[in-house]
Chain A
Amino acid sequence: MSKATKTKYAYNRHPATFILLLILSLAMIFPFVWMILSSFKTAADVYQYPPRWIPSVWNWKNYSRVFSMIPFLRYYWNSIYTTVVETALQIIISILAAYSLVHLRWPGQAFITALMRSTMFVPMVVTMIPMYLLCASLGLVDTYAGIILPQITTAFTTFLLMSYFASIPQDMIDAAKLDGCGPTGIMMRVVVPNTKGAIATATLFSFLGNWKSYTWPLIITSKTAYRTLPIGLKYLTQESSSEYQVMMAAAVMTILPVLIVFIFFEKQLVRSITLTGMKS
């Protein structure tokens, strides 16, 4: 069935739901459209009331102004590098931790789970100074490792994966054991392939969290060579609160990797929602 036929079919069967979802979709898309249009406006257009939707003049200078105010490309590369490495390590560590906590039995497991859970209630501002002191002692100030290492373990991602790993039927695990699989084999051949959607969801959350991380990279780095995009965006916003058009131009360029990641993971993301009802 083609997409157009599917749309027609959906509208004919549930017109009210279709229209409601269409309105909600437009509401979701609206901020993005507004951001893109604003990135081409002049300062006068941005503050016009009633709001002006289409720029009076398509002002491309906002984009070049971003590049002239901050070393945007350097920040962009640093953000991509640190985010990709952080996300990959976060997911690997979270898969191992979640599998161990859900499907293996070992002494102190309940205590470690509770301890991990408790870390979710501690705000970053409390741990920031001790973490800085630790990193400084290890010589990690102004290094990529200093940005990445303290952020590779997150209780949230682990618990997210745990909830999905727990939904794998015990029968499947037992069958794998009968076939001669050890713990690593079960994890790699049974658990991970059957929770791809969940892992994609966790990856997306991790990527987003790392991509917009501001405070820690600001504290641990001072050199331009290691600075990330959120710091650059802050530099544009702090004193230039009235220059929304420049901020929007930077935001348009900043959001591209997130959109790309989302488009590539979209199918897995939807699948993770539909698979949560899987039973033995």
Chain B
Amino acid sequence: MKLKKTLKVFLAALLVMALTGGCVSQYVNITTEEETAAPTTKAPEPGSTEAPAPSTEADIRGQKLEIWYSLSGASGVLFEELSKKFSEEYGVEVELSYSGSYADTASKVSAAMLKGLQPDVVVTGSGQLYSGGEGDFRIGELLKTTNDFDTNDIFEGMLDYCDYMGQGICALPYGISTQVMYYNKDILKAAGVDMTNPPKTWAEFYEVCGKVMESAGDNTKLKAFDTYDEAWLFKSMLMQNGCEIIKNNDGKITPIFNNEKAIEVADYWKSLVDAGYMASGKHGTAAENAFLGGTLAFVASSSNRIARWTGTTTFELGAIIMPSFGSAPSMALGGNVLVLLTQDESKVTAAWKYMTYMANVENSTTFALNTGYLPTHKSALERQEVKDAIATNEMYSVAFSQLEYTWAYTSFQEMGTMDSQIKNALQKLEKNRGTAQEVLDTAVKKLQEEIDDN
């Protein structure tokens, strides 16, 4: 009885301490010295491509922007810091709001758009669907009418990523990533694999996996390879093998990832599972945890893990350029974009200034070097801080050298469904619930049905 009473008092005291502790909380409502209410003007019609009325930097001072973003953890903290810097430099109040995962953000933005309550700017994955999908190509117009952002300096694949259905640019790249093949140097050393000459093709990679498994001996926990995002990697592999994934005929999307080239990739995938090199159905966080726990030799994961994993692993961490099927590697892009969604015309200039500030070469490079996301500007590679990062961290060197062969397929509304269908297909394949042809046929059929329904 006495113990319980003591426990109650202890827990209550802890709660009080947690609530009143001397820790400083960080608010994300970034307020400037000048807080004058911005005049609200008529909202533009959906589908408008009309360029905004000219406005100067002086005009935006005192305005208030609402920004929703999917970036979290260390990336989110840095994003907030850069936003604060913008706020101080331009005198614009920036109200930041974390909007959850990409899927959460999709729900939140979609709901808000139905009531016209969307924020002025959103930073999230596949954000081009919210603007381009609604016929809003104001960014394309702003790029033409202002000199704030040089698209010629942006990597082509990233510019493609900001396009919607080939109709035009409707987002700016920010926090873009690609997959990197990380490896545990200790395991590879123990397996006697010379990683100074890393595997360049998936066939060579298969041989290396074999050596790793041979060296495992009684260590039944050890696996050679896995990936955080199987759909993402599979799409890169499809492209490498000459399968274009989808066809876009004047806005009509046709999935083609069940053709002969795709079957070859799926068969290779299955061979990794059959040989015991890759665990069946243990992708995602489980794969990363296994890698960090030292029971996985290779893991293909987002480049944004570089900043977080460097110096925190219990083993020596390395990275190699992603193997390829073809003569040249090819890597699918993922990650975030900045999207202009404001319905208040008087805020367009401030929102555009904010977007171009965050995505400019200096800030996007700072963001990339501290988070592991990729630099979006070609000129970033000439900057001293990037050269230093490449010289001191081989993983940056690998991630940045993959930039030249990154690509993005046409953005379309059912992209999320496509990834789900690919994941389902691979799961069935790994569990022997169909041949490569059967599972991919089913995935393509279901995706096509949804595209047709919409």
Residues of A within 8 A of B (CB): 3, 43-44, 47-49, 64, 67-74, 76-77, 125, 128-129, 132-133, 136-137, 141, 215, 218-219, 222-224, 231, 234-243, 253, 256-257, 259-260, 263-264
Q: Pick the contact of A72 from B11, B25, B309 — CB < 8 Å?
A: B25
**A256 contacts B15, CB within 8 Å?**
yes
Contact assessment for B11 and A259 in the assembled complex, using a CB-CB cutoff below 8 Å: yes
Residue ID in chain A nearest B28 by CB atoms = A224
Asked whether B18 lies within 8 Å of A69 as measured between CB atoms, the reply is no
Known A-B contacts A69-B73, A240-B308; A133 and B111 likewise in contact (beta carbons under 8 Å): yes
Is B29 an interface residue, CB under 8 A from the partner? yes
Most buried by B among A47, A69, A253: A47
Contacts of A259 on B, CB cut-off 8 Å? 11
B75 at the binding interface (Cβ < 8 Å):
yes
Contact with A along B61-80 (1 / 0, CB 8 A): 00000101011111111000
B103-119 CB contacts (< 8 Å) to partner A: 104, 107-108, 110-112, 114-115, 117, 119
A74 to B73 alpha-carbon distance, docked (Å) = 18
Q: For residue A45, which residue of chain B has the nearest CB?
A: B314
Across the interface, do B19 and A239 meet the contact criterion of CB distance under 8 Å? Answer: no
Please give the number of chain B residues whose Cβ is less than 8 angstroms from any Cβ of chain A in the complex: 59
Chain A residues lying within 8 Å of B114, measured Cβ to Cβ, are 129, 132-133
How far apart sit A219 and B114, CA to CA, in the bound complex (Å)? 13
- Not counting A133-B114, A238-B72, A260-B11, a sample of 17 additional A-B residue pairs whose C-beta atoms are within 8 angstroms of each other reads A71-B26, A72-B25, A73-B23, A76-B18, A129-B111, A132-B115, A219-B108, A222-B66, A222-B68, A231-B98, A231-B100, A236-B73, A238-B70, A240-B72, A241-B285, A253-B18, A260-B15
B107 and A219 contacting across the interface, CB-CB below 8 Å: yes
State which of A47, A71, A239, A256 has its C-beta within 8 Å of the C-beta of B18: A256
| A128-B111 in contact (CB<8A) | yes
B95 contacts the other chain (CB 8 A)? yes
- Cβ contact within 8 Å between B19 and A73: yes
In the complex the two chains form, is B314's CB within 8 Å of A240's CB?
no
CB distance from A35 to the nearest CB of B (A): 14
In the assembled complex, the Cα of A247 lies from the Cα of B288 at a distance in Å of: 16
Residues of B with Cβ closer than 8 Å to A?
Answer: 1, 4, 7-8, 11-12, 14-15, 18-19, 21, 23-29, 66, 68, 70-77, 95, 97-101, 104, 107-108, 110-112, 114-115, 117, 119, 221, 285, 288-289, 292-295, 304-305, 308-309, 312-314
The prevalent SS among residues of A at the interface is helix
Q: Nearest-CB distance from B341 to chain A (Å)?
A: 13
Measured in the bound complex, the distance between the Cα atoms of B264 and A270 in whole Å is: 60
Chain A residues lying within 8 Å of B70, measured Cβ to Cβ, are 238
Provide the bound-state CA to CA distance between A49 and B293, in Å. Answer: 5
Tell me which residues across on chain B come within 8 A of A215, comparing CB atoms.
104, 107
A81 to B28, CA, bound (A): 21
Cβ-defined contact, A239 with B71, below 8 A: yes
Structural contact, A243 and B308, CB atoms closer than 8 A: yes
Sorted nearest first, the 7 A-B pairs with minimum C-beta distance are A240-B73, A239-B73, A67-B23, A238-B72, A71-B25, A222-B97, A47-B292
A260 touches B99 (CB 8 A): no
In the complex the two chains form, is A235's CB within 8 Å of B76's CB? yes
Roughly how many angstroms separate A136 CA and B71 CA in the complex, as a whole number? Answer: 26
Minimum Cβ distance to chain A for residue B117 (Å): 6
Q: Is B110 a contact partner of A74 (Cβ separation < 8 A)?
A: no
A3 to B3, CA, bound (A): 11
Residues of B within 8 A of A223 (CB): 29, 95, 97
